[in-house]
Amino acid sequence: MYDRQTDTLWHQLWGTPAFGALVGSGLSLDRLPVTLTTWAAWYAEHPETKVMDFDTGFVRDYRAGAAYGDYFASPNTMFPVWRRNESLPTKSWVFTQLINDQPKAYPLSVLKDEAVVNDTHAGQALVVIHDAGGHGARAYARNGHRFSAASPDRRLELIDEDGKVWQVTEEALVSESGDMLERLPGHMAYWFGWFSFYPRTELYGLDGG
């Protein structure tokens, strides 16, 4: 990434300046929750969504797969990667957390099987939910609650240890009584990329938790 004000290049996974005027400034980007899902799943929950027209007036082709489709479909990387870890295939998708500067990765394949994961990382109790769209996940604070899916076909609802139903929203988990549990920053990454930047990462399902 680069910013238009100073043309500084930024590390996408560290969120720090890599080259340019802001290197050494001590600046870093805030981590935000990111949703990676299918159009069908998103539109079902957000039918008011506006979509950019493919006919943008620019030469670049914005149709699905036009830019990186071949790369996404290939097991190979676009460039050499000097630091690798074979715990997962190179381009496995992982949902990533960085809490108190401690990294952790949740393999998407494991999340798909488990659907709802109650975990604690770096002192933070959290629940990680496989996205109903099938290609992502999201995390929320759980504040001591233990959650499970309300039912196999109602993935946007969770049920806690007392049988109370919570709605999964973009901003928070919301209970029937209006209690809210905040969504935590997190995003999807390829395993090779995440490990390259965070080689001391924990790996859910393979590190005993």
pLDDT in tens, 157-189: 999 999 999 999 999 999 999 999 999 999 999
- Calculate what percentage of the chain has a pLDDT beyond 70: 97
> Residue 52's pLDDT is what?
84
Average pLDDT, the chain: 92
What is the Cα–Cα distance from 91 to 102, expressed in whole angstroms?
A: 22
Residue with tokens 């996974």: 13
Residue 140, burial from CB neighbour count under 10 angstroms (0-12, 13-18, 19+): buried
pTM: 0.91
Kindly report, residue by residue over 110-121, the tens digit of the pLDDT: 999 999 999 999
Give the closest residue to 164 by CA, choosing from 145, 181, 139: 145
Q: Average pLDDT, stretch 199-204?
A: 97
What's the rounded mean pLDDT across residues 103-130?
96
The predicted pLDDT at position 207 comes to: 58
State how far the Cα of 111 lies from the Cα of 117, in Å rounded to an integer: 7
Condensed to tens digits (0 to 9), the pLDDT of residues 15-59 reads: 999 999 999 999 999 999 998 888 888 898 899 999 888 888 888
Q: What is the pLDDT of residue 208?
A: 55
HEC sequence for the chain? CECCCCCCEECCCCCCEEECCCCCCCCCCCCCECCCCCHHHHHHHCCCCCCCCCCCCCCCCCCCCCCCHHHHHCCCCCCCCCCCCCCCCCCCEEEEEEECCEEEEEEHHHHHHHCEEEEEECCEEEEEEECCCCCCEEEEECCCCCCEECCCCCCCEEECCCCCEEEECCCEEEECCCCEEEEECEEEEEHHHHHHHCCCCEECCCCCC
Place of tokens 């604070």: 141
CB–CB of 150/159 below 8 Å? Answer: yes
The predicted structure's pLDDT at residue 154 = 58
Residue 111: predicted pLDDT? 94
pLDDT at 53: 85
